A and B are shown apart, each in its own frame.
Chain A
């Protein structure tokens, strides 16, 4: 199914909000969303939640023959899949560009940086090595798949235990988990990706873009670092022009973020280890709370209420007080009462419609230039009330119409304008 296109006003709203350093969910420009890491019952299974983006990682291993030109090294295989449940835009067979991009980034980040010691995966040189397979599945897409995927992958790799192997001469024995405890992989460092999105030709920068922000961004820069401040991968995409100091600034921000995220991962791993050792319950089923409705939990989003008082005062001072309300109903006939004087008939005015439209335009321009005059015009209007609950609506763009606009439930805008014209002419 095609993605619903983003409307122009939504796009402008997002870009303008970012220009004022505000984000839709109330974060600061360099804030990450909440990261939650949970482990499954098996070793090597991990789900990472980055806000609402969800990635599942599963590690498995197998004994295979090594590659011809690298007989003493184990094999690492990465696979990232965009599941169809992640977004209605993901169809089987489509989305190939995004899949290639993400897969290559994960490969480069984890394989080329040599975070896993592949020599330790060798069992019999030239004959048998361990092949570690990392499968990543995107379960929900809410922006920033790359970061979530890299956190999931490296956490799962740290969590994974492979079966123990012993070699006696020519004999190779692979022990099952019951015979001997499985052995963790030897991991040198933990590279973590941080994504930066650029807006307005690189003027504005955001960390961890959400799905909406990704749609309006100009370009993306992904920097993978580990906590020793070594950069593992840099990748710019989206066709924007960057400057050198932008890249350097991003790398500094990334180092801060990576340290935080690494700590979080370490804590999660230790928690899980503790729970398993104490014999407590672990796994996905346990990490989901029972007896609680948690279908859709919104996190508390901070709202900026700094100048609310001042803004409210501005609004109040710029608007007029509501005009007089006719208090008593008019009794026309026994048993009936009338409040208000009814509405103009907006049907059957087609013959005057086109002429009225042209007058509408001029009226708009006049409105913009003669604010004061318009105010006086309004006061002579017949004050018509309707039964609708919509009270007086205050227009928040005072430069066009510095007066109240009474919204009547069944009247159209054309009829409203016609009413204004009547007293003016």
Chain B
């Protein structure tokens, strides 16, 4: 995370526990999604820099990294779409902003492979009654699928542009 990304300047952007945790989660997500057996004895580095943090940090990192990996031509099992969801006064909310996150309510982050609905990562904070869990996960899943549509469209448009430019 860049030092200017949050409301108050971050004094130590590297090495603190929260960023290490996010690093580990990203690594775990992409290890599950990238077909690593096609690249034996090699290392794929993914660097992500958060320029502005307004909630949903992990989800934006995952989505950006997915697009980057697709652009690099590395084969993936499926798009990895991530979204955060929260529960405020009995309503599930999707894609929380920083204000909503810090109000202390529940926060669920899901990284999903849309076609088979496999969850690459499930992460949840703060109290939530067990009965509400299913509703919250459903809401997050639907949001991830919508996001998948957006990502897919963007990739296809970009490909069309690039191929027409190359063609000239």
Contacts and interface: CB of A to CB of B under 8 A. Distances in A.
A123 interface: no
B118 A236 contact: no
> Chain A interface residue count: which class?
35 or more
B126 A112 contact: yes
A145 to B, nearest CB: 16
B24 interface: yes
Contact of B117 (A113, A235, A244): A244
Nearest to A241: B118
A247 B130 contact: no
A108 B128 CA distance: 14
Given A239-B32, A243-B117, A247-B137, A104 B18 contact: yes
Nearest to A107: B17
Interface stretch (A35-43, A224-232, A370-378, A394-402): A224-232
B126 A238 contact: no
Interface in B26-73: 28-29, 31-32
Given A97-B24, A100-B24, A244-B141, A235 B123 contact: yes
Contacts of B124: 231, 233-235
B113 interface: yes
Contacts of A242: 118-119, 122
A255 interface: yes
B32 A225 contact: no
B81 interface: no
Interface string A87-125: 000000000110011011001100011100000000000
A104 B31 contact: no
B91 to A, nearest CB: 18
B133 interface: yes
A251 interface: yes
Contacts of A96: 20
Contacts of B119: 236, 241-244, 247
The range of chain B's interface size is 20 to 34
Given A97-B24, A242-B118, A243-B119, A225 B130 contact: yes
B1 interface: no
Contacts of A221: 122
A231 B133 contact: yes
B9 interface: no
Nearest to B129: A230
A252 B130 CA distance: 8
A248 interface: yes
Interface string A174-217: 00000000000000000000000000000000000000000000
A221 to B, nearest CB: 7
Given A236-B122, A240-B32, A241-B113, A229 B130 contact: yes
B143 interface: no
A263 B137 CA distance: 30
A177 B29 CA distance: 50
Contact of A236 (B17, B123, B126, B129): B123
A424 to B, nearest CB: 45
Interface string A34-74: 00000000000000000000000000000000000000000
Contacts of A101: 21, 24
A247 B118 contact: no
Interface in B119-160: 119-131, 133-134, 137-138, 141
A205 to B, nearest CB: 15
A239 B13 CA distance: 25
Contacts of B29: 239
A239 B130 contact: no
A337 B141 CA distance: 84
A248 B24 CA distance: 24
Given A236-B121, A241-B119, A113 B133 contact: no
A241 B17 contact: no
A226 B119 CA distance: 24
Which 3 residue pairs spanning A and B have beta carbons closest together?
A: A241-B118, A234-B124, A239-B32
Interface of A: 96-97, 100-101, 103-104, 107-108, 112-114, 221, 225-226, 228-244, 247-248, 251-252, 255
Given A96-B20, A241-B119, 14 more contacts: A104-B17, A112-B126, A114-B127, A230-B127, A231-B127, A232-B126, A234-B124, A235-B123, A235-B124, A236-B119, A236-B123, A238-B28, A242-B119, A244-B137
24 contacts: A101-B21, A104-B20, A113-B127, A229-B129, A229-B131, A230-B127, A230-B128, A231-B128, A236-B119, A236-B121, A236-B122, A237-B24, A239-B120, A241-B113, A241-B118, A244-B117, A244-B134, A244-B138, A247-B119, A247-B122, A248-B134, A248-B137, A251-B130, A251-B133
